[in-house]
Amino acid sequence: ALPGPLHGKTVTVTAGGTREPLDPVRFLGNRSSGKQGAALARAALDAGARVRFIAAHMDVPAPDGVELTRVETALELREAVHAAAVDSDVLIMAAAVADFRPDTQSNTKIKKRDDGADPVITLVRNPDILAEAVQQRSKAAAGTARPALIVGFAAETGDGSADVLDYGRQKLKRKGCDLLVLNRVGTSLVFGQDSTEVTLLSPQDSESVPPPSYTGTKTDVAQRIIGRIEQELEAA
Ligand code: C5P
């Protein structure tokens, strides 16, 4: 068989949702199933890439054939991404990373208080791992900067599609990534579902041409995204 279009390339995919512990039994989590990240990893493997898969909590198994690292929290995911990024051609940040974590983690289960007072949880910001990967790359010498392509995801709950696009463009700029996969979410949309609807935004987009959108199963959409990544790597 012919070598696939990503033969010789290393693709790192993050997937699933981070869990931020409150105490030994409780956490703050999110509805990410890991299905889109798993589908992206499979599509990259099918294209011949070596795939490093950094998995936070997932409802589905990690695909066979990946180099798997399991993480729980955003800070653990950050360490794993930093370690993988320098030797990746492509970084795909499909994981749903908690923006906040509890400022402290109790070593024992938080108990109901005798005085009836409600417990208070203070949240602190997690680092933006995607933005950090972009910053890290910009410090490298020209020509050696890796990953060559950094892909972010944006799950937006807005319903007016023009607003969602606008928001996506702002996020692309703010994070500085090379491609942003925008999808519309709600509790019954996208998260945990097998089908999805995405729009691909790039800093090179012209305002007058509508960006490409794809609807289909997460597998179909993953193949489209990997196809676009192949094009971007060829053009680079
Ligand atoms: O800002 P927002 O969470 O919508 O950005 C989503 C994108 O940023 C995703 O690609 C996600 O993996 C990444 N992200 C991150 N670190 C965070 C929050 C999100 O890398 N703390």
ipTM here: 0.97
Token pair 């589905």 is found at 60
pTM, two decimal places: 0.94
Binding site, by residue number, is 99, 109, 127-130, 153, 171, 175
Report which protein residue has its CA nearest ligand 1's atom 5: 154
Mutation test residue for ligand 1: of 93, 181, 225, the one with most atoms within 8 Å of CB: 93
Write out the catalytic residue numbers: 30
Rg (CA), the chain: 19
* pLDDT, one tens digit for every residue, the chain (236 residues): 788 999 999 999 999 999 999 999 999 999 999 999 999 999 999 999 999 999 999 999 999 999 999 999 999 999 999 999 999 999 999 999 999 999 999 999 999 889 999 989 999 999 999 999 999 999 987 777 899 999 999 987 665 566 788 889 999 999 999 999 998 765 455 566 777 889 999 999 998 899 999 999 999 999 999 999 999 999 98
pLDDT of 4 reads: 95
In the prediction, which pLDDT does 143 show?
Answer: 73
Ligand 1 centroid to residue 231 C-alpha, Å: 24
Sheet arrangement for strand 90-93: 67-70, 50-55, 10-15, 90-93, 149-156, 179-184, 195-201, 213-217
For 76, half-sphere exposure in the C-beta direction (CA atoms, 13 angstrom radius) is: 14
Reference 59, options 41, 35, 36, 82; nearest CA is 35
Helix, strand and coil content of the chain, in percent to the nearest 5, comes to 30, 25, 45
> For ligand 1, atom 13, which residue shows the shortest CA distance?
130
